[in-house]
Amino acid sequence: MSAFKKLVDHSQKCSHFNHLAAICGWDQASMMPSGGNQARSEAMAQLSVHIHGMMTQPQLSDWINDAENESLNSEQQSTLREIKRNWQQANLLPEKLVQAKSLAGSKCEHAWRTQRGENDWVGFEKNWREVVELSREEAQIRADFAGLTPYDAMLDIYEPGTSSASLDTLFSDVKTWLPGLIDQVIDKQSTEQFTAPSGKYSTDKQKALGLEVMNLLQFDFNHGRLDESVHPFCGGVPSDVRITTRYDENEFVQSLMGIVHETGHARYEQGLPKHLSGLPSGEARSMGIHESQSLFFEMQIGRSDEFIGHLAELAGQQFSGNEFEKSNFQKIYTRVEKDFIRVDADELTYPAHVILRYEIERDLINGKIKHTDVPELWNLKMQQYLGLSTEGNFKNGCMQDIHWTDGAFGYFPSYTLGAMYAAQFMASMKNDLDVSSVIQSKDLTPIFNWLETNIWSKGSLLTTDELVKQATGETLNAQHFQDHLKNRYL
Amino acid sequence: MSAFKKLVDHSQKCSHFNHLAAICGWDQASMMPSGGNQARSEAMAQLSVHIHGMMTQPQLSDWINDAENESLNSEQQSTLREIKRNWQQANLLPEKLVQAKSLAGSKCEHAWRTQRGENDWVGFEKNWREVVELSREEAQIRADFAGLTPYDAMLDIYEPGTSSASLDTLFSDVKTWLPGLIDQVIDKQSTEQFTAPSGKYSTDKQKALGLEVMNLLQFDFNHGRLDESVHPFCGGVPSDVRITTRYDENEFVQSLMGIVHETGHARYEQGLPKHLSGLPSGEARSMGIHESQSLFFEMQIGRSDEFIGHLAELAGQQFSGNEFEKSNFQKIYTRVEKDFIRVDADELTYPAHVILRYEIERDLINGKIKHTDVPELWNLKMQQYLGLSTEGNFKNGCMQDIHWTDGAFGYFPSYTLGAMYAAQFMASMKNDLDVSSVIQSKDLTPIFNWLETNIWSKGSLLTTDELVKQATGETLNAQHFQDHLKNRYL
């Protein structure tokens, strides 16, 4: 058996265990009663150890070396590249550091769940100090290996190929026009009248509506489900994608568009190349590209005039009231407000939240600032970008996100990269298709075919830059994002 | 570290993987869309191979030998006994035979799902021949190891310590009085009037009713759930027990009592000793004892006058109609009929179905009859025990059950052993408690305390005979079952 074939078999074995982890993880978040948590966590931890053991088996090194000298076609070369990358990532960190960071992260995150509500920065800081230290240690090891700065080495986990140099360029450009645009739009919307949701919207009807919308978006229910969880997510495996939402009987706005968003993630997973199933080359390209698909669904399709019309029509079959008029839907779903909380932010202010976090975590991991500097910097930047003060308001400031509590530094930029890629894909798609008419027709097949051909079916065969260039003729160009925002909001 | 401690650690590791298998198995039956089946089956197969690999690690042999010479308390000795038994079972069969039987069984079972409906004995026989041959091979290996007859070695998988000699004695006694009793009861009931369910009983209301009944039976919803599946079962793990039912909107009878039955299985699991979690000594004693708990709930509690009253009252809160009168419920749930299908059989005719299967599978595995003799023998015995002919009627005869299709020979006796144990437990409990008053009071705690003390908390620390003797003062005594049936039905 060739070394490459051995690697393929090994990778597929690992993927079976990852499958079990994905399903049991979904179950833990959406089905499991709380009394089951301890035994489940122990079982999942045992599984992680087993998977890590498989990923670091000593013979993999030889197999990879040998495979690199075998004659492989281009697809096989991509597969080998991704297998090697995963193997490097798994072997990079000393087990002791992985365990220490996992423990410190769990401890910090667990305490944060109550500390946040209590605005307890002092308590949080005590746990977080260790998470930051261990994350810097991790970043340094990754940096030494990859020949990058520490923060760029963390970025590379989520967005292979992206650097802070390119993000600095992108984001400093955004900062030149975004604050002004936000003010302009808020001013324009200040006289707008709309009916806010008020009343009881039953979970059953919201769910029925969500399923209708998923059908319109051609979610494949033979390979997936919709369920409920406290924090909505897209999980499972490509052959069986599990998305979740959270219903609030006082309003329908978040859950409804949340389902559109998660359906975007889900269709990417469902559309990944089946002949590469179980191989890293058959997986999603990066967090940014994943987010580009959810945001394509949510922002590019979901908030288009035509789709808003369909949403209002479908909602009107379940509910009645002025709030379900199309024009009211449009106003609700394009409302811009300066506020503290990223996860509740609208499309226009969202990048400001991300850029703020990017700038802070970049300097924090590169050792240019101390973790105790974060609240002040947060307040400063929040005033600069959104005109809001967070002085003393830790819970709605630097303590609001889960990401930093367990050391996931480098993740935040993916959100805005995703929004930018989504706008670029739409601009390119419009050269090929009359997108508005397609959405209007309620048969969105041509749109999904474009995404499947250009994004989903590529898995991780191409690098992100190659993928985006093949799909749109150029690498990331943030002008499309700016054009999109101006076009929609001005 | 002592050898015993090493075995305990190893057993707990294995139990984590068994946890994942249980949850993913439950998901496969109750949640998974059909398109997810191939990848799931592959992942589950990989997990089975991994667990089997753990159970047959070469060092276990030394550890067991060493542990047998260590100084262990009585509980540790029981744990070691069960660990050794599991290890022997895992090592007994050549991997080739396990794989061949698994393949032949899957093939036969899969084809059977359509062949049964088509009454296609000829097609079925072609696949089943191999299943029987491989099962005989398995039985012979087990028999040689254990010094038992082939069939007794298969029985030992499900009911350690039970022999066909004792079953022959038990069942031949039952055969002397059961057919006459059945005729007597049918004659007595022939003039009874009752209102059969007819109408639409919505799934939502049936589910609400089921949850109420589970509450009455003190199912712990912090450690378990109720869901739906085509074939109802009790799965999951002791800290998170998953029971399922199947709703039919044309009737409520089966689903309602099915929930009572599965709740019995579930409370046994939920009541297993927590300090032995992850060890085989902390698991359920046997299939017969498991069934004794589900049948204790279904037959001893569930069909008691007092509980039938509660059921009727709870059902009356969801539905209305004459069929929900207590006296009507009593008649519905104690109706006796001679019929072909075991899974639909009432309490009184059920043992006849089991004894028939026992006698056939015993002789089949011991090589006294050929697999092609089965339809004729089935017809003969069905006429003898229930006065029904199955000549040419394979689908309602020997092709009706799933058990034999994949070679689970030796399982059927557990059903009737369970019914007998349940009757014996109730007879004994009645010496300690005024059971009728307890049920009438709607607070069944004293009953569950008795079961917890005498059965659930014992796990597999005792042998079945020891367990039953400690709980009731005697080993299995079928007279209690006969008394129970006469008392209820005459």
Same domain, residue pair B304 and B193: yes
The dihedral over CA atoms of B394, B400, B404, B405, expressed in degrees to the nearest 10, equals 80
- Are B17 and A46 inside 8 Å of each other by CB? yes
Average pLDDT (B178-200) is 94
Side-chain-facing half-sphere of B394: CA atoms under 13 Å: 18
Is residue A144 situated within a structural domain? Answer: no
Q: Which residues pair with A227 in a beta bridge?
A: A244
The 3-state DSSP class for residue B117 equals coil
Same domain, residue pair B23 and B171: no
Same domain, residue pair B12 and B56: yes
Active-site choice (B109, B125, B262, B361): B262
What gap in Å lies between CA B280 and CA B274, rounded to an integer? 12
Catalytic site residues of A?
262
Q: Which of A20, A33, A240 sits opposite B35 (nearest CB)?
A: A240
Task: Indicate whether A127 pLDDT > 90.
Answer: yes
Average pLDDT (A50-61) is 96
Of chain B, the end-to-end C-alpha distance in Å amounts to 62
Is residue A145 situated within a structural domain? Answer: no
Same domain, residue pair A187 and A87: no
What gap in Å lies between CA B34 and CA B22, rounded to an integer? 18
The amino acid occupying position B17 is F
What is the DSSP-derived secondary structure letter of residue A244? E
Out of B125, B158, B191, a domain closes at B158
Give the gyration radius of chain B's Cα atoms. 23
> pLDDT at position B43, please?
94
Same domain, residue pair B109 and B192: no
Q: Which of A16, A225, A277 sits opposite B46 (nearest CB)?
A: A16
Give residue-wise pLDDT tens across range A233-284: 999 999 999 999 999 999 999 999 999 999 999 999 999 999 999 999 999 9
| Nearest residue in chain B measured CA to CA from A278 | B39
The amino acid occupying position B360 is I
Contacts of A38 in chain B (CB under 8 A): 239
Same domain, residue pair B114 and B196: no
- Are A33 and B277 inside 8 Å of each other by CB? no
Is residue A270 situated within a structural domain? Answer: yes
Contacts of A277 in chain B (CB under 8 A): 39
Give residue-wise pLDDT tens across range B319-378: 999 899 999 999 999 999 999 999 999 999 999 999 999 999 999 999 999 999 999 999
What gap in Å lies between CA A222 and CA B91, rounded to an integer? 39
Out of A76, A92, A108, a domain closes at A92
Q: Measured on CA atoms in the order B338, B340, B342, B344, is the torsion positive or negative?
A: negative
- Are A19 and B32 inside 8 Å of each other by CB? no
Contacts of A222 in chain B (CB under 8 A): 33-35
In DSSP notation, B360-390 reads HHHHHHTTSS-GGGHHHHHHHHHHHHH----
Average pLDDT (A61-69) is 98
Give residue-wise pLDDT tens across range A414-455: 999 999 999 999 999 999 999 999 999 999 999 999 999 999
What gap in Å lies between CA A408 and CA A402, rounded to an integer? 9
Distance from CA of A194 to the nearest CA of B (A): 37
> pLDDT at position A340, please?
97
Q: Which of B33, B237, B277 sits opposite A223 (nearest CB)?
A: B33
Average pLDDT (A475-489) is 97
Same domain, residue pair B145 and B168: no
> pLDDT at position B375, please?
98
Counting every residue written for chain A, the total comes to 490
If you search the block for the tokens 């009911």, which residue do you land on? B159
Give residue-wise pLDDT tens across range A99-115: 899 989 989 998 998 99
What gap in Å lies between CA B409 and CA B392, rounded to an integer? 23
| Nearest residue in chain A measured CA to CA from B40 | A19
What gap in Å lies between CA A24 and CA B110, rounded to an integer? 27
Contacts of A238 in chain B (CB under 8 A): 39
Q: Which of B40, B225, B239 sits opposite A39 (nearest CB)?
A: B239
> pLDDT at position A95, please?
87
- Are B20 and A47 inside 8 Å of each other by CB? yes
Six-digit token string for A31: 């089905």
| Nearest residue in chain A measured CA to CA from B274 | A39
Task: Indicate whether A305 pLDDT > 90.
Answer: yes
8 Å CB contact between B356 and B385: yes
Give residue-wise pLDDT tens across range B348-364: 999 999 999 999 999 99
Out of A23, A58, A92, a domain closes at A92
Average pLDDT (B93-99) is 90
Q: Which of B32, B221, B240 sits opposite A39 (nearest CB)?
A: B240
CA distances from A84 to A4, A488, B206 (A): 11, 43, 54
- Are B36 and A237 inside 8 Å of each other by CB? yes
Is residue A117 situated within a structural domain? Answer: no
Is residue A332 situated within a structural domain? Answer: yes
What gap in Å lies between CA A151 and CA A143, rounded to an integer? 8
Q: Which of A43, A220, A277 sits opposite B19 (nearest CB)?
A: A43
> pLDDT at position A61, please?
98
B69 contact partners, CB below 8 Å, separation of at least 6: none
Distance from CA of B236 to the nearest CA of A (A): 10
Six-digit token string for B376: 């004729």
- Are B23 and A24 inside 8 Å of each other by CB? yes
- Are A16 and B47 inside 8 Å of each other by CB? yes
What CATH number did the domain enclosing A307 receive?
1.10.1370.30
Same domain, residue pair B128 and B15: yes
Is residue A303 situated within a structural domain? Answer: yes
Same domain, residue pair A410 and A285: yes
What gap in Å lies between CA A317 and CA A150, rounded to an integer? 53
Phi, psi of A319 (to 5 degrees): -130, 165
Write out the residues of chain B at the interface with chain A, using a CB-CB cutoff of 8 A.
13, 16-17, 19-20, 23-24, 27, 31-36, 38-40, 42-44, 46-47, 50, 220-225, 236-240, 277
Task: Indicate whether A199 pLDDT > 90.
Answer: no
In DSSP notation, B272-313 reads S-GGGTTSGGGS-S-HHHHHHHHHIIIIIITTSHHHHHHHHH
- Are A225 and B33 inside 8 Å of each other by CB? yes
Six-digit token string for B217: 């039976």
- Are B240 and A13 inside 8 Å of each other by CB? no
Give exposure, B324-361, as e/b (b: 16+ Cβ within 10 Å). Answer: bebebbbbbbbbbebebebeebbbbbbbbbbbbbbbbb
| Nearest residue in chain A measured CA to CA from B23 | A24
Same domain, residue pair B20 and B136: yes
The total number of structural domains that make up chain B? 2
Same domain, residue pair A178 and A78: no
Categorize the per-residue pLDDT at A460 as very low, low, confident or very high, splitting at 50, 70 and 90. Answer: very high
- Are B35 and A220 inside 8 Å of each other by CB? yes
The 3-state DSSP class for residue A242 equals strand
Contacts of A33 in chain B (CB under 8 A): 221-225, 240
- Are A39 and B50 inside 8 Å of each other by CB? no
- % of chain A with per-residue pLDDT over 90: 97
- Are B36 and A240 inside 8 Å of each other by CB? yes
Describe the strand order of the beta sheet including B240-245 as a list of residue ranges: B224-228, B240-245, B234-237
Is residue A108 situated within a structural domain? Answer: no
Which parts of B147-202 fold into alpha helices (H)? 150-158, 164-189
A190 contact partners, CB below 8 Å, separation of at least 6: none
**CA of residue B143 relative to chain centroid, distance:** 24
CA distances from B374 to B153, B361, B414 (A): 21, 9, 21
Q: Average per-residue pLDDT in chain A?
A: 96
8 Å CB contact between B144 and B99: no
- Are A20 and B19 inside 8 Å of each other by CB? no
Write out the residues of chain A at the interface with chain B, using a CB-CB cutoff of 8 A.
13, 16-17, 19-20, 23-24, 27, 31-36, 38-40, 42-43, 46-47, 50, 220-225, 236-240, 277
- Are B35 and A222 inside 8 Å of each other by CB? yes
Contacts of A31 in chain B (CB under 8 A): 31, 225
Residues of the domain holding A48: 1-92
A272 contact partners, CB below 8 Å, separation of at least 6: A238, A282, A283, A284, A456, A457, A459
> pLDDT at position B199, please?
81
Distance from CA of A411 to the nearest CA of B (A): 29
Contacts of B47 in chain A (CB under 8 A): 16-17, 20
Task: Indicate whether B454 pLDDT > 90.
Answer: yes
CA distances from B179 to A18, B186, B295, B347, B424 (A): 55, 11, 21, 13, 21
What gap in Å lies between CA A485 and CA A336, rounded to an integer? 11
- Are A23 and B23 inside 8 Å of each other by CB? yes
Q: Which of B20, B38, B223 sits opposite A33 (nearest CB)?
A: B223
Contacts of B17 in chain A (CB under 8 A): 43, 46-47, 50
What gap in Å lies between CA A98 and CA A92, rounded to an integer? 10
Q: Which of B27, B42, B221 sits opposite A33 (nearest CB)?
A: B221
8 Å CB contact between B171 and B163: no
What gap in Å lies between CA A411 and CA A393, rounded to an integer? 24
8 Å CB contact between B337 and B194: no
The amino acid occupying position A239 is S
> pLDDT at position A428, please?
98
Average pLDDT (B469-481) is 98
If you search the block for the tokens 């919207």, which residue do you land on? A201
B101 contact partners, CB below 8 Å, separation of at least 6: B131, B134, B135, B138, B406, B407
| Nearest residue in chain B measured CA to CA from A22 | B24
Q: Measured on CA atoms in the order A166, A172, A177, A182, is the torsion positive or negative?
A: positive
Give residue-wise pLDDT tens across range A355-370: 999 999 999 999 999 9
Same domain, residue pair A189 and A284: yes
What gap in Å lies between CA A414 and CA A417, rounded to an integer? 5
Which parts of A190-304 fold into alpha helices (H)? 203-216, 253-270, 287-295
Distance from CA of A34 to the nearest CA of B (A): 6
